[in-house]
């Protein structure tokens, strides 16, 4: 048992497909489920999950790719930091190609900016210690999974008295936008495949008001193909039986009350704030800002820069894709003006992006 191969078992998955087919017949209508997390989106395309589902079950992708929901103005500010002297911008790899209003980190690097890809925020702290004469600005994006690690990097910098490490924070939280999207009659979401790793931090309780208050079935689902099929089966069963509960398919990792320790670290450093989601707009209380106590690590406050006025590409429909209103194939730019080599919108850039997944696997 290695916790991977047994969840990629062909017969198990085929059996689940059969069961979903029988259950879906009983529903007598088309059901629309949203997978919130970009890793689910990628896995669904990568394993050809849609080809295993009956026509009555429709999967749409949600706003759970952190790179995709990062607004233009954030990239523009990161670009402005790239252009400062004696400055290293450290970032996760998939931010490199995301287009801002007129540039990207990749384009800045090609023109001489010092942009480094790191695999962990602690690597960025180490980079700051190795380059005491420079400022290191880490691009802190991501949901509740990533935010505690970035909070941890700030605590590590404090402990090691690293004065040249800063975070440009744009962390976001998932449950509030899920409530907003489920209230949208146009999308008519019948249930959520809730993110796996985010749920490991926030726990199942975080979805209770969505399920019990708003009547939307929620199933916390792992990332392997058998997990996803079982998550879909559980959602279909809830719809057929008229229930709306929070269920946990991914119990081998996710506990009902989540990871308290990680949340404590997060809460020591961050406070809730309003956040702008690319393509969706401002959502009150859906972001995380660095609190007063750690303001000296907050790039925005410690090192203010002027970025260009943000501009969106007029034809870009990333916002509609992130809200599940259209699929990539409905966007006129998809695979024509917008490709992974030359992306117009962020959904085409990240390996977790819906359009990137559709371009790579779906055509």
Partner 1 sequence: MPHDLILLGHGSGGALSHQLLDELVVPTLSGISQAGRDDAAVLDPVGGRLAFTTDCYVVDPPFFPGGSIGDLAVNGTVNDLAMMGARPLYLSTGLILEEGFSRDDLARILTAMRRAADAAGVAIVTGDTKVVPRGKADRIFITTSGVGVLDHGLTICGSGARPGDRVIINGTIGDHGIAVLAAREGLELSSDVTSDSAPLNDLVAELLKEGDAIHVLRDPTRGGVATTLKEIALQSKLGIAIREDQLPVSREVGAVCAILGLDPLYVANEGKLLAVVAPEAAERVLERVRNHPLGRESAVIGEVTDKNEGRVTMETVVGGMRAVEMLAGEQLPRIC
Q: Which residues bind partner 1 (CB under 8 A)?
A: 4, 8-10, 13-14, 17, 39, 42, 45-52, 66-67, 92-97, 117, 119, 141-143, 145-146, 197, 225-226, 229, 339-341, 350-352, 359-363
- Pairing relation of β-strands 57-64 and 87-91? unpaired
By C-beta, is 47 or 294 nearer to partner 1?
Answer: 47
Of 221, 206, 213, residue with least CA distance to 286: 206
DSSP state of 362: I
Closest distance of CB 183 from partner 1, Å? 27
| CB 14 to partner 1: min, Å | 6
Smallest gap from residue 147 Cβ to partner 1 (A): 10
Nearer to partner 1, 126 or 234 (CB): 126
Q: Report in angstroms how near the CB of residue 289 gets to partner 1 at its nearest.
A: 19
CB contact burial 84-123 (16+ within 10 A = b; e otherwise)? eeebbbbbbebbbbbbbbebbbebbbeeebbbeebeebbe
Q: Residue 32 forms beta bridges with which residues?
A: 58
Q: Pick the closest to residue 68 from 94, 43, 31, 35 (CA basis).
A: 94
Choice between 284 and 361, CB closer to partner 1: 361
Our CB check for partner 1 shows the closer of 7 and 297 to be 7
The least CB distance from residue 81 to partner 1, in Å, is 18
By beta-carbon proximity to partner 1, the closer residue of 93 and 215 is 93
Tracing tokens 């790039």 back to the chain, one arrives at 299
Q: At its nearest, how many Å lie between partner 1 and the CB of residue 293? A: 26
Beta bridge partners of 91: 117
| Of 224, 239, 271, nearest in space to 24 by CA | 239
Nearer to partner 1 (CB atom), residue 217 or residue 231: 231
Question: What is the secondary structure of 22-74 as a DSSP string?
Answer: HHHHHH-S-EEEEEEEHHHHHHHHHTTGGGGS-TTEEEEEEEE-TTTTS-HHH
Distance from C-alpha of 141 to C-alpha of 325, rounded to nearest angstrom: 24
Q: At closest approach, how far in Å is the CB of 298 from partner 1?
A: 20
Of 45 and 207, CB closest to partner 1:
45
Nearer to partner 1, 139 or 280 (CB): 139
34 CA to centre of own chain: 13
**Shortest distance in whole angstroms from residue 341 CB to partner 1:** 5
Cα 31 to Cα 24, 60, 311: the distances in Å are 8, 11, 37
Give me the least distance between CB of 44 and partner 1, in Å please: 9
CA 207 to chain centre: 17
Contacts of 269 (CB under 8 A, 6+ apart): 150, 151, 154, 155, 290, 291, 293, 294
Nearer to partner 1, 197 or 208 (CB): 197
Pairing of strands 165-172, 281-290: antiparallel
């Amino acid at each position: 048992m290695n916790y991977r191969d047994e969840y990629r078992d062909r017969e198990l998955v085929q059996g689940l497909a059969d069961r979903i087919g029988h259950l879906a017949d009983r529903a007598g209508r088309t059901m629309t489920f949203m997978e919130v997390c970009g890793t689910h989106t990628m896995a669904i395309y990568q394993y050809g999950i849609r080809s295993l589902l009956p026509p009555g079950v429709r999967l749409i992708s949600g706003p759970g790719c952190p790179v995709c929901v990062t607004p233009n103005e954030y990239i523009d500010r990161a670009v402005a930091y790239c252009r400062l002297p004696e400055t290293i911008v450290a970032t996760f790899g998939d931010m490199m190609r995301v287009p801002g209003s007129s540039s990207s980190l990749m384009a800045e690097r090609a023109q001489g900016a010092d942009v480094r890809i790191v695999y962990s925020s602690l690597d960025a702290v180490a980079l700051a210690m190795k380059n005491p004469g420079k400022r290191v600005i880490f691009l802190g994006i991501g949901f509740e999974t990533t935010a505690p690690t970035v909070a941890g990097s700030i605590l590590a910098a404090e402990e090691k008295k690293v004065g040249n490490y800063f975070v440009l924070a744009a962390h976001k939280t998932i449950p509030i936008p899920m409530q907003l999207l489920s209230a949208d009659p146009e999308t008519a979401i019948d249930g959520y495949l809730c993110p796996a790793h985010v749920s490991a931090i926030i726990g199942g309780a975080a979805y209770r008001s969505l399920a019990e208050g708003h009547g939307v079935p929620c199933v916390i689902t792992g990332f392997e193909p058998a997990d996803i099929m079982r998550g879909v089966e559980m959602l279909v069963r809830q719809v057929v039986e008229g229930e709306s509960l929070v269920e946990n398919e991914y119990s081998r990792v996710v506990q009902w009350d989540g990871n308290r320790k990680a949340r404590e670290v997060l809460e020591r450093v961050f406070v809730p704030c309003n956040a702008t989601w690319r393509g969706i707009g401002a959502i009150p209380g859906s972001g995380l800002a660095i609190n007063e106590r750690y303001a000296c690590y907050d790039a925005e406050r410690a090192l203010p820069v002027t970025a260009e006025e943000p501009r969106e590409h007029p034809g870009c429909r990333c916002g509609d894709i992130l809200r599940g209103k259209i699929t990539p194939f409905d966007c006129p730019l998809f695979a024509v003006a917008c490709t992974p080599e030359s992306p117009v919108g962020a959904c085409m850039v990240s390996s977790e992006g819906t359009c990137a997944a559709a371009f790579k696997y779906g055509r």
